[in-house]
Amino acid sequence: MPETLSTIVSPEGSLEVLSQSEVNRLRDTSGSGLHDLLRRCALAILNCDTPTDDGLAVMQAYHDFDIEVLQQDRGIRLKLSNAPACAFVDGRMIRGIREQLSSVLRDIVYVYNEIQNNPRFDLDTNEGATNAVFHILRNASALRTAHEPSMVVCWGGHSISREEYDYTKAVGYHLGLRELDICTGCGPGAMKGPMKGANLAHAKQRRRGGRYLGISEPGIIAAESPNPIVNELVIMPDIEKRLEAFVRVGHGIVVFPGGVGTAEEILYLLGILMHPDNRDIPFPVILTGPASASDYFQRIDEFLCYTLGESVRRHYRIIVDDPVSVAREMRHGIDDVAEFRRNQNDAFYFNWRLNIERGFQQTFEPTHQAMAGLALHRDQPRHELAANLRRAFSGIVAGNVKEPGVRAIAEHGPFRLHAEPELMERLDALLTSFVAQGRMKLPGSEYVPCYTLAAPR
């Protein structure tokens, strides 16, 4: 059994007062599911030092963990029972973890009270979904109106080699020297490295208030616990709103080597940028890694060109083994973004102009039936194929690491994807390469595929 500790703590900085009805809903273990959501996300925050990406295993290891919100006259307190001991030093909770725990509470309460079942937000429309993303970010104070564009979103795998991790730190360092901030999915690997490098560079530049923004969602946070450098944490309600948050707050994106989650992000981004309405909107995208990752990017590039057409290449650059060039290109690209938005009188802090179609906003529940029903063929508009491929990769991520997906695979067997023959062959080659390169699971974990490929029905 892992070592645990029980205690009572006060929230730190994000949400220190709740109404009695809010407290009661968070305590309710039978109806809304809010207590279970808080429990799972809180455990992910507290389980900060365990090298695992199996959300189900985390829940089973700490099956007796619980969190209760206590209402007191001077505010609220959190009663933790059997919490992971790694979140404490000499019996006191680490301050950064307490801040992140408060962020989880803030976002869960806000989404439940203000977004879900609120007629102000019609989540079945483009406008409603985007407004929801905006309000969640604004409530978390993640939108800084007085700041010039500086936010670089960094995507990449949680399971990467030491060489690739060191490279992400080098890129982050050179971005930080150019006074750029970092936003990632908040976890380990390529999500931690850029923040660590930028943190050192900001210290060298004596840059105060450096931003290390982590954006997660309840389904993935247990498998990718926030790294300790994250000083702003936002929990979006689902993967689609998480992805939209990245492209709305980011001024440019750097993509490091990764697995299916990274491929999902790439397809999401390029499917949006290829839309005719977004053609003239500057948005720098750089794919980069050490020399050893050149084959990885070649495979990604070939797959993208086959599925989305040769024109997709105009939306990204591949730079291998050159952190300085990556940082310079990104700095120049973000300067172009600033000039464009200034000329168009657009906001610096949120990309309202970007058109995101419903296919990229609709919540996809990766059930066996939904995965089998995906249209994986090229006889459809490119952006629709990109959306369906994104859903396929999202389902594989769920089957790999998310608790509901892992349970579904254990009960019903692998997901079954139906694709046209040549696309199936290329998809299989790409996924097989991810497995061979150890990009599906953390080192030391044997990977058992959660999917099979078949011809169209």
Model pLDDT for residues 336-348, shown as the tens digit of each residue? 999 999 999 999 9
Q: Are strands 232-235 and 212-216 parallel, antiparallel or unpaired?
A: parallel
The mean per-residue pLDDT over the stretch 301-320 comes to 94
For residue 451, what pLDDT is reported? 85
In sequence order, which residues have a C-beta less than 8 Å from that of residue 308 and are 6 or more positions away? 270, 271, 274, 382, 385, 386
Q: Fold for domain 145-343?
A: Rossmann fold (3.40.50)
Determine the Cα–Cα distance for residues 25 and 30; give it in Å rounded to an integer.
Answer: 10
Backbone angles phi, psi at 71, to 5 degrees: -90, 125
The mean per-residue pLDDT over the stretch 172-195 comes to 96
Backbone angles phi, psi at 454, to 5 degrees: -145, 165
Neighbours of 94 (CB within 10 A): 15
Rounded to a whole number of angstroms, the distance between the first and last alpha carbons of the chain is 47
Nearest in space to 296 (alpha carbons), one of 430, 181, 205, 420: 430
Three-state SS string across 85-111, please? HHHEECCEECHHHHHHHHHHHHHHHHH
Least confident of 33-47, 153-167, 197-211, 279-293: 33-47
The mean per-residue pLDDT over the stretch 98-107 comes to 91
Neighbours of 302 (CB within 10 A): 13
Instruction: Provide the percentage of residues in the chain whose pLDDT is more than 70.
Output: 93
In sequence order, which residues have a C-beta less than 8 Å from that of residue 63 and are 6 or more positions away? none
What pLDDT band is residue 361 in, cutting at 50, 70 and 90?
Answer: very high
Instruction: Provide the percentage of residues in the chain whose pLDDT is more than 90.
Output: 57
Residue 29 has pLDDT above 60, yes or no: no
Distance set, CA 269 to CA 2, 76, 80, 155, 408 (Å): 40, 40, 39, 11, 28
Cβ contact 282:337 at 8 Å:
yes
The average confidence (pLDDT) of the chain is: 89
Nearest in space to 97 (alpha carbons), one of 105, 107, 86, 87: 87
Cβ contact 44:227 at 8 Å:
no
What pLDDT band is residue 53 in, cutting at 50, 70 and 90?
Answer: low
Nearest in space to 13 (alpha carbons), one of 140, 137, 111: 140
For residue 76, what pLDDT is reported? 81
For residue 32, what pLDDT is reported? 63
DSSP for 313-378, please give it.
Answer: GGG-EEEES-HHHHHHHHHHHHHHHHHHHHHTT--SSS--S----HHHHS-----HHHHHT--BSS
Neighbours of 152 (CB within 10 A): 30
For residue 47, what pLDDT is reported? 86
Q: Is 65 left (phi over 0), alpha (psi -120 to 50) or beta?
A: beta
Q: Using CB atoms within 10 A of its CB, is residue 280 exposed (0-12), middle (13-18) or buried (19+)? A: exposed
For residue 133, what pLDDT is reported? 96
> Which amino acid is residue 333, in one-letter code?
G
Whether 4-118 and 145-343 share one fold: the answer is: no
* Domain-wise residue ranges, the chain: 4-118, 145-343, 361-454
Determine the Cα–Cα distance for residues 74 and 72; give it in Å rounded to an integer.
Answer: 5
For residue 401, what pLDDT is reported? 74
Question: Which residue would you say has higher pLDDT here, 137 or 433?
Answer: 137
- pTM > 0.85: yes
Residue 421 has pLDDT above 70, yes or no: yes
Nearest in space to 401 (alpha carbons), one of 96, 185, 94: 185
The mean per-residue pLDDT over the stretch 223-229 comes to 87
Residue 391 has pLDDT above 60, yes or no: yes
Homologous superfamily of the 4-118 domain (CATH): MoCo carrier protein-like (3.30.1850.10)
Spatial strand order of the sheet with 285-289 comes to 232-235, 212-216, 181-184, 151-155, 252-255, 285-289, 317-320
Residue 274 has pLDDT above 70, yes or no: yes
